[in-house]
Amino acid sequence: MRSLQFRLSVGLFISLVLTFVVLWFLVSHASRYLAESYISTRLEHDTESLLTAVKFDSKGTLSLDPNNINTIYHRPFSGHYYMIMHGDETLRSRSLWDQELSLEHLHVGHHHRLYLHGPQHQPLLLLVSTFTKSGQTVTIAVAEDLTPVDKHLAHLQRYFILAAVILLLVLVSIQGWILHAGMRPLEKTRQELHALGQGRLTQLDQHVPKEIAPLVAEINHLLAVLDKRLSRSRNALGDLAHALKKPLTVLTQLARDKSLSENPELQQQITTQLQTIQTHLTRILQRARLAGEGPVGSLFHASEEIPALIATLQQMYRNKELLFEAEIPPQLTLVADREDMLELIGNLLDNACKWATRKVRIRISKAQTTRIDIEDDGPGVAPEKLAGLTRRGLRLDESTEGHGLGLAIVQEIVTSLGGELQLQRSQALGGLHASVNLKI
């Protein structure tokens, strides 16, 4: 979809063009109307002069007094013509050079304005009037060439079009500047949304035009609601795990009671199920410990967070005395939710620590995409079983909590970030090699 500014610009440009077209039409017709009205007034004056020059003798024969006729009507094809008709008699101006105008006989007292072509096919404005003088009916037709008027009007239209084009360009430029200035608050809000997505902001600035203020307020409200819900969800998960830990400890002690020794099979089943619940609760508490404190949606500062994450894992697996190798670019910051990245990397490192014999390696590189590689020197996984590792609940070894649940969580996070997770055997250490490629 095209931008709002582009659509407004196109709409305003079309409106301006239509406005200038209408103005051109009105100016052209108004100019022609004024010019033809002026010519009509002059033709009326000449008609009155010719009517004064009309004479009838005792026999009713039509004649003209040459002293009352303008000399322009004597010059051939001067552009000024007249014809006077009385019955079968017709008097023509010398300017017609023995040609005639196509006329209609009108009733007495009628005036009619016509357009026709003259003796040299020039456009003429013709005024035809019928009068009664000395008891005789006479029709007088006076015409004037419109060619000079058309030339002046065409000249005026060319100047008007040139001025209109220049003015249109100026108005379009001013309009573009006004739209750009008017859209500046939207551009600021867009930049804030981008910063919000990168975790550099937690709220949008509400000092915006009133037209978009409700939208900004709703976005801020939604962000606050989501932040509270996510925090409550994570806190509730940790609280639940802590709340159940003590009752489970009591139930575990009761499962070892001597009264159940008479039914060892039942005792074993209860103990197994309690251990399973205890294992899952321990994992939830471990994830809470790995996430630690921090605002929801903040950036992930890998060079600061991962060393702290490794220190936590070293405490959790201190009985193994694991050796960690970390290759992390200094001052590396990833545009991703801190909690998601801690859970992603924490689960991968946690799984690596469970299966590692002595060494765990993590390497992060940043180019057009972010690549995270985590390897261990454990027994690894058979190639035919690698594809099923990310299925939720899969455990490859019942004696040890397997990769299944942790890697299923990792797969969900990677998918939500539009990335890709690959699992294979580590060529360097021999164990599992988890490779994550994220478009951040």
Angle between helices 213-255 and 264-291 in degrees, nearest 10: 150
Q: What is the pLDDT of residue 274?
A: 72
| 350 vs 206: CA distance, rounded Å | 43
Contacts of range 34-41, beta carbons closer than 8 Å, 24 or more positions apart: 35/149, 35/152, 35/153, 36/125, 36/146, 36/149, 39/125, 39/144, 39/146, 39/149, 40/113, 40/125, 40/127
Half-sphere exposure of 303 (CA within 13 A, CB side): 8
Long-range contacts formed by 151-159: CB under 8 A, 24+ apart: 152/35, 153/28, 153/31, 153/32, 153/35, 156/27, 156/31, 157/24, 157/28
d(CA 290, CA 202): 23
Q: Give me the pLDDT at residue 234, please.
A: 66
Q: Please list the ranges in the chain whose pLDDT falls under 50.
A: 106, 290-296, 393-404
Q: Which fold has domain 4-150?
A: Beta-Lactamase (3.30.450)
With beta carbons less than 8 A apart as the criterion, state whether 356 and 426 touch. Answer: no
Q: What is the DSSP secondary-structure string of 21-52?
A: HHHHHHHHHHHHHHHHHHHHHHHHHHHHHHHH
The values of phi and psi at residue 366, to 5°, are -130, 120
Q: Which residues pair with 432 in a beta bridge?
A: 425
Angle at 20 between CA 16 and CA 23, to 5 degrees: 140
pLDDT at 399: 42
pLDDT, residue 258, reads 67
Domain limits, the chain: 4-150, 201-295, 299-440
What is the second-level CATH architecture of the domain 299-440? Answer: 2-Layer Sandwich (3.30)
Looking up tokens 């709340």 gives 243
Q: Any residues with CB less than 8 A from the CB of 213 and at least 6 apart, and which? A: 206
Asked if residue 95 lies in contact with residue 81, where contact means CB atoms within 8 angstroms, the answer is yes
Could you give phi then psi for residue 186, rounded to 5 degrees? -65, -40
Q: What is residue 423's three-state secondary structure?
A: strand
Of the candidates 118, 379, 23, 94, the residue with the CA atom closest to the CA atom of residue 103: 118
pLDDT at 397: 46
Instruction: Please say whether the beta carbons of 195 and 201 come within 8 A.
Output: yes
pLDDT at 242: 67
The pLDDT value recorded for residue 374 is 93
Q: Which ranges constitute the DSSP H helices of 198-263?
A: 213-255
Measured distance CA(403)–CA(392) in Å, rounded: 9
